[in-house]
Amino acid sequence: MEKITVPAIVKKKNKEKIVMITSYDYLMTKLVDKAGVDGILVGDSVGMVLLGYETTLPVTMDEIAHHLKAVVRAKPKALVIADMPFLSYEVSKYEALRNAGKLIKLGAEAVKIEGGVEVVDKVEVMVKHGIPVMGHIGLTPQRMLKFGGYKLMGKKAELAIKLIEDAKALEDAGAFSIVIEFTAAEVAAEITRRLKIPTICIGSGPHCDGQIIVLHDILGLSENPPPFVKKYANLADEVVKAVSMYVEEVRKGLFPTEKHTRRMKPEEYKVFKDLLDKL
């Protein structure tokens, strides 16, 4: 498979479903890339998935950078997108450009920011300086305090119209695609129909140009996955089972066996014993 680029993602609009997923480390990136995903998001969801935060709000640029570098080392064919964490772009468009540039220098091939009309000036300046930007509307976790938690967006007609306006504003600002999170499917479908750039759904129905999901959710590793997640495996149980077997076998003296043991050559062992006798 050839390296997937931003233009390649854009060309898939209305032609082929786009498949994206999160990844935060070298090993998982190798595996998901082998599976054939189109895009890998180094998401601020790492805060809740791997770092133990209750929300994405505490995630820092340094933490995103750390995980981004691990993902980039895997040299995936998929497009690598880095999330811009809370307050890394909101303060000013110049700070947004500076922080986005840091992620690009570390190997990101695009950045993602949350928000609609209110972040258009940030999108414009980044795009102007050659940084591809993915938008993110609907449920925006960095603004969960404003919404009073994680709730379905676009349930009311007026708010649905606002989402359409946000999406169009992001497209006009130069975003190459937009994530639509936990939004009524009818609204996501209408946004997809109206935009020339691809829409990527997460919990927003089947009518977008593609889908993105948190890797650990579909693997059954997350404690409380969102209601829109389909589990394709139950690895949490498998991990507990495997480690429990390891614990039991070590305590009973069943591991390691000769199969898992390497020894000195007999003649070298004899020399070793002779040297021990002289200690």
Cβ neighbour number for residue 13 with a 10 Å cutoff: 17
Catalytic choice (118, 181, 223, 248): 181
Residue pLDDT, tens place only, 106-150: 999 999 999 999 999 999 999 999 999 999 999 999 998 988 888
The CA-atom distances, in angstroms, between 139 and each of 116, 162, 192, 204, 269 are 11, 13, 16, 10, 66
pLDDT of residue 238: 98
Query: Of 28, 32, 26, which is closest to residue 1 (Cα–Cα)?
Result: 32
pLDDT for the residue 169: 99
pLDDT, residue 107, reads: 99
> Can you state the percent helix, strand and coil of the chain, rounding each to 5?
45, 15, 40
Domain ranges for the chain = 6-233, 238-277
The stretches of the chain forming alpha helices (DSSP H) are: 6-11, 26-35, 46-49, 61-73, 93-105, 120-128, 144-147, 157-173, 185-194, 215-218, 235-251, 266-277
Q: What's the CATH code, domain 6-233?
A: 3.20.20.60
What is the model's pLDDT at position 148?
A: 84
Say how many Å lie between the first and final Cα of the chain, rounded.
61
β-pair partners for 80? 40
DSSP assignment letter at 39? E
Tokens of 178: 């937009």
- Per-residue pLDDT, 154: 97
181 labelled catalytic: yes
Question: Of 44, 49, 46, whose CA–CA distance to 221 is shortest?
Answer: 49
How far, in Å, CA of 157 to CA of 139, rounded?
A: 16
Smallest CA-to-CA distance from 196 within 1, 45, 11 is with 11
Looking at residue 150, its pLDDT comes to 86
The tokens 């690598």 sit on which residue? 80
Token digits for 275?
């040297």
Output the six-digit token pair for 176: 């190459």
Give Dmax over CA atoms of the chain in angstroms. Answer: 88
Q: Which residues are CB-neighbours of 114 under 8 A, at least 6 positions away? A: 136, 137, 140, 141, 142, 143
Query: Is the pTM of the predicted complex or chain greater than 0.85?
Result: yes
Positions in the chain short of pLDDT 50: none
Which pair of tokens denotes residue 109? 């091939």
Structure confidence by residue, pLDDT tens digits, 174-194: 999 999 999 999 999 999 999
Closest CA to 63 of 42, 89, 93: 42
In this predicted structure, what is the pLDDT of residue 1?
Answer: 76
